[in-house]
Amino acid sequence: MKRRVPRVVAWIFALSCIAGSLFTSWVSFTVRPSTPGWRFGILRWPDSAVANLLPSFGAAAALLCLIGLWAFLNYRHRLLSYTATILLLLVIVAFLQLAFVDGALLRDLVSDQNQYRNVEMFTHKQLPTNLGGEATRQIEIDTSTLWGQALVAQYFLGLGWYIVTIAGVTGLVTGLRAVPAVGDRRAIVLFGVIAFLCTAALHLARPVLAQHALSRGITRQCEGDLDNALKEYRKAIRLDSWKRVHSAVYGRIGAIDAMFGRTNTVECGVYKVETYVLAQDLPSATATIETLLPKAGALTPTLRKWHGDLCTLLGMDLYRKDAVGDATLLWESALKDDADQWLARFCLSRAYYDLGRYQDSLNLITSMLAQCADPLLLADLYSNQGDSLMKLGKFGEAHLAYRNSYQYDSVLNWRALTALVGAN
């Protein structure tokens, strides 16, 4: 009986880890539902159109957990130790890929978080008030350094990543304790250290070189050596995917172009947009991006997302000034640029209500409910749904919507509670 108990525990633990690695997220969005582990592809973002010949992180982790279970049940302790080491390397690769390799994914995660914060601001200022502010998921986003990218990436790691990490640590400790020879234990540890260093070097080499090139470019620009500064900036963009999807380095190139009178370049346009944004002149910033888009080339996706963000913020400013119609047009334009612009969709659902377009508001809210994972935002969406249903005379459906809202947020949700008892 004593010999069977650890085997049963091993089966339960291994199967739980396999399920967690496959069906829970390794990377978690703030608003949108997160991708399960079986779809989180190694070395690429899963929504890419390019075929992925490598397995997903979830599938690879599940296979390693199966091998580790077999090794434990058959007393192959060295195999268990090596398998657990590889499993830990897999979670390190997932972290490094998110922080330093897949700039588009990290950009989407940061954008999702920033939009969530702005949704909260819009909710508190423009919607019927609740009893107070809920505890929320807010962090200061700073990705200007490699260390900042690592901290931000760590924040977005999901439950699946932690489950696999626990599985790897447990397997490694169990295997090492059972390996009798000291030399074998040292060999396993040495293998893990060398593999970790090689993995880190492989993922960090290009970002580190890019950061060095950026620093050299800034130094050259300060010294007046503008030609070499441009070369360093372009090298930084070429080496680092994160810098390719952001405007900062392009803006530095544009500032140099402006000094030489090359005002027709895309980079100079990016510099102008940054200047307008700093001056809080959002209309000029959005208009400038519109002139850049036809000739943006590889920068088109980045500029479109930026245009969507600025249109959304400009729409919020107009909405505060009761220019609801103009704000609606801007939010609709933002969604054409970026279908993932959650802030614009949320604001637009309320603007349709204000304009008496209750069915349009309901249609938009219904689509958002299926794509939202945050309970507080879901509560507000259901309350908005209830308001529109009330205007359409669908009182039973409105009552159900307010009830759903209260189920998602029953702590300070005064808005849904009063609607349920007929106070609204």
93 has a pLDDT exceeding 90: yes
Give the pLDDT confidence score for residue 24 in this predicted structure: 94
Give the per-residue pLDDT at 407: 86
Q: Is the pLDDT of residue 210 over 70?
A: yes
Q: What is the mean pLDDT of residues 326-346?
A: 93
Segment 138-184, tens digit of pLDDT: 566 777 888 989 999 999 999 999 999 999 999 999 999 988 888 88
pLDDT at res. 45: 45
Handedness of CA 200, 203, 209, 211 (dihedral sign): negative
Element (H, E) at 109: helix 103-126
pTM surpassing 0.75? yes
pLDDT tens digits, one per residue of 373-414: 888 889 889 999 999 999 999 988 988 998 888 888 776 777
Average pLDDT over residues 234-248: 91
Mean pLDDT of 242-263: 91
pLDDT at position 127 is: 76
Direct distance between the N- and C-terminal alpha carbons of the chain, in angstroms, rounded to an integer: 64
For the chain, how many residues are written?
424
CA dist list (Å): 133 to 103, 119, 123, 129, 156: 33, 13, 10, 9, 23
Burial of 104 (0-12, 13-18, 19+ CB in 10 A): middle
pLDDT above 80 for 331: yes
Q: What is the pLDDT of residues 59-74, one digit of tens each?
A: 999 999 999 999 999 9
Which residues, in sequence order, are bridge partners of residue 36?
Answer: 25
Please give the backbone phi and psi of residue 49, each rounded to the nearest 5 degrees, phi first. -80, -10
Is the per-residue pLDDT at 424 higher than 60? no
* pLDDT band, residue 291 (cuts 50/70/90): very high
Query: Of 127, 102, 94, which Cα lies nearest the Cα of 206?
Result: 102
Using the predicted structure, report yes or no on whether residue 106 has a pLDDT greater than 80.
Answer: yes
